[in-house]
Amino acid sequence: MKEPRWPPGHRLARTRVRPEAANPAASGRVPFSGPRGSGLLPSFAMRIAIAQFDVVVGDLAGNADAVRSAAATATAEAADLLVLPELCLLGYPPRDLLLREEVVPSCERMLETLAAELPLPTLIGTPRRVAGGSRPIANSIALCRGGRVEAWHDKILLPTYDVFDEARWFEPGERPLVFDLETSGGVRRIGVLACEDLWRAEDVGLDRRYDVDPVAAIADVGCDVLVNPSASPFVAGKSTRHRAILADVAARVEAPVVMVNQVGACDDLVFDGGSMIVSPGGGVLGKLERFQPAQATFDLDPGGAGVTDHAAESSVHADRFEAIKLALASYCRRTGHGSVLLGLSGGIDSALVAALAVAALGPDAVLGVLLPSRYSSEGSRSDSRDLAARLGIRAEEMSIEPMHALVTTTLEPVLRVDGAGLEGLADENVQARSRGLLLMALSNARGRMLLSTSNKSELAVGYSTLYGDMCGGYAPIGDLYKTEVFELSRWMNASHRSLGFETPPIPVASIEKPPSAELRPDQRDDESLPDYEVLDAYLRGRIDEARAPESLRAMLGVDADLVRRIERLLAISEFKRYQATIIPKLSPRTFGRGREMPVAARWNPGD
């Protein structure tokens, strides 16, 4: 294999070089002195296979079998090269599994076994041990060819923003891998960059985060095809940015870019696949479906122009639906939960969660439980029954009144000492926790995972009860603001047939009636919270976009008292969010690992 003649110890220049400024003398980079890529001359012919499969973190044997299956298919289709996602052998994100002494050596042994078996050149993402750095592991792409591991690309740019903390585990690489590949059309030069090496945080709107540009280094030495094994988590709207960035990079390197993304979900992260090949002219040479495992072999056409992709972008509602559906199904499968249950209140949150659970798992796997109190309206009970009928799920009913009465009686002599009674917020929380206790008891007795129905607006301002409605093993709508809950519910009803529902799944009454916790007579959410349109606009700006309170006040036209009130609620509810269950990531900033705020802090613009 002929490689670019990188001088010993060569590192990428600490500068961001755009195409028009790619001057080796100006940048300080050492230019490649060998033959440059062919630029896809008319004689170009190459068959490239790409596979996005459901990688399971830690399942070396299962992931290796998926690699073998992909290689067998690619060989049958006469592919010249198979490209697989980032860290597909161990799974992404492995997190602190990497700190266990046996994990990386096990990956290395499995890779050697695979390399000896694979019938065609294959690029596999895997961790490996490296020497000389402060961290002894690299996030690597292995070139397996001729029965052995022939070369490596160690990921250069290690993201440390949002949910990422790769510098915690990995040592950064120094330069890209470029290698020669024998194809039916002759020898072709293949460049390799891993995930962030290409995205550079631009796909999440954090341009200019790095002072190193691996794409510029590839452009300097030239290649016929640039491949990018990725594990890029889903965020609504991100796929459109991916396409634009791939087109820009293809133009810079004057070669097609092959991006292969992971599909599936791991805990809070969803991977939507959507692998694609983009030409220097911005045309799509090939692509795989989103939100499902897929594999295909593509012929890179002479001239490499591709076609303009006129397919309509999926709506943000469709993307969120598919992401939550995939996340919940994957989480249940990987944790061994074949069925779930949830409390049905007659409101919009529990209705949406129930419908999403049915879409992900099927009606037989979902149990709805009505837990009425003296404050529950007959309308709420009938709406819950209507929901169960629409979804085809079993519904059971248990009143919380006996438990509430027992708690009240038990506490009465203790509270009497202080001249107090069980009333107000304390009484409301007893009701919520009575429901949580009964649901968790059913979860244990039936072996069903409890789903939390909390939404992002409630979690933001603390309009939820610890050990009450926050109970559960997974919170499917925890990254949807209340207004987005309504929007997704309406969209699902309008699109019900294409989603597999015989009738609109969510009762109209649950969508149209004023939201209420029904913990006291005639209670409504807007008695305790600002209007959701205003609240969510503020929270989106504050949480997702990190805007300052004064900026949001001016932008939204709200008064200072409201800003102070929201800021105070946001701050004093942090301790609850630390105890919330897993929330699938749908937005730029999700509660959990992607937003790490101190609890016992004094910074509060609401004071």
| Residue 102 token pair | 């046996």
Q: How far apart are the C-alpha atoms of 337 and 481, rounded to whole Å?
A: 27
Q: How far apart are the C-alpha atoms of 271 and 276, rounded to whole Å?
A: 14
Q: How far apart are the C-alpha atoms of 38 and 35, rounded to whole Å?
A: 9
Using an 8 Å Cβ cutoff, are 586 and 478 in contact? no
DSSP per residue, 386-445: HHHHHHT-EEEE--SHHHHHHHHHHHHHHHHHTT--S-HHHHHHHHHHHHHHHHHHHHHH
**Strands, E assignment, 9-63:** 47-52
Q: How far apart are the C-alpha atoms of 376 and 432, rounded to whole Å?
A: 12
Out of 144, 195, 332, 471, the active site residue is: 195
Using an 8 Å Cβ cutoff, are 90 and 57 in contact? yes
Q: How far apart are the C-alpha atoms of 565 and 567, rounded to whole Å?
A: 5
Using an 8 Å Cβ cutoff, are 232 and 271 in contact? yes
Helix (H) or strand (E) holding 368: strand 366-370
Using an 8 Å Cβ cutoff, are 82 and 74 in contact? yes
- Picking from 315, 310, 300, 306, the residue whose alpha carbon sits closest to that of residue 239 is 315
Q: Among this protein's residues, is 86 annotated catalytic?
A: yes
| Residue 99 token pair | 């700190």
Out of 88, 107, 144, 155, the active site residue is: 155
Read off φ and ψ for residue 292, nearest 5 degrees: -155, 150
The three-state secondary structure class of 496 is coil
Q: Are strands 276-278 and 284-287 parallel, antiparallel or unpaired?
A: antiparallel
Q: How far apart are the C-alpha atoms of 197 and 553, rounded to whole Å?
A: 38
Q: How far apart are the C-alpha atoms of 531 and 516, rounded to whole Å?
A: 13
Using an 8 Å Cβ cutoff, are 80 and 184 in contact? yes
Q: Describe the chain by its helix, strand, coil percentages, rounded to 5.
A: 40, 15, 45
The three-state secondary structure class of 298 is strand
The DSSP symbol for 179 reads: E
Q: Among this protein's residues, is 585 annotated catalytic?
A: no
> Distance of alpha carbon 486 from its chain centroid, rounded?
22
- Helical H segments across 132-261, by residue range: 196-199, 214-221, 238-253
Q: How far apart are the C-alpha atoms of 216 and 228, rounded to whole Å?
A: 14
| Residue 26 token pair | 């100006």
DSSP per residue, 124-150: EEEEEE-SSSSSSEEEEEEEEETTEEE
Using an 8 Å Cβ cutoff, are 459 and 484 in contact? no
Q: Are strands 269-272 and 225-230 parallel, antiparallel or unpaired?
A: unpaired
Out of 86, 171, 428, 484, the active site residue is: 86
Q: How far apart are the C-alpha atoms of 51 and 67, rounded to whole Å?
A: 9
- Could you list the active site residues? 86, 155, 195
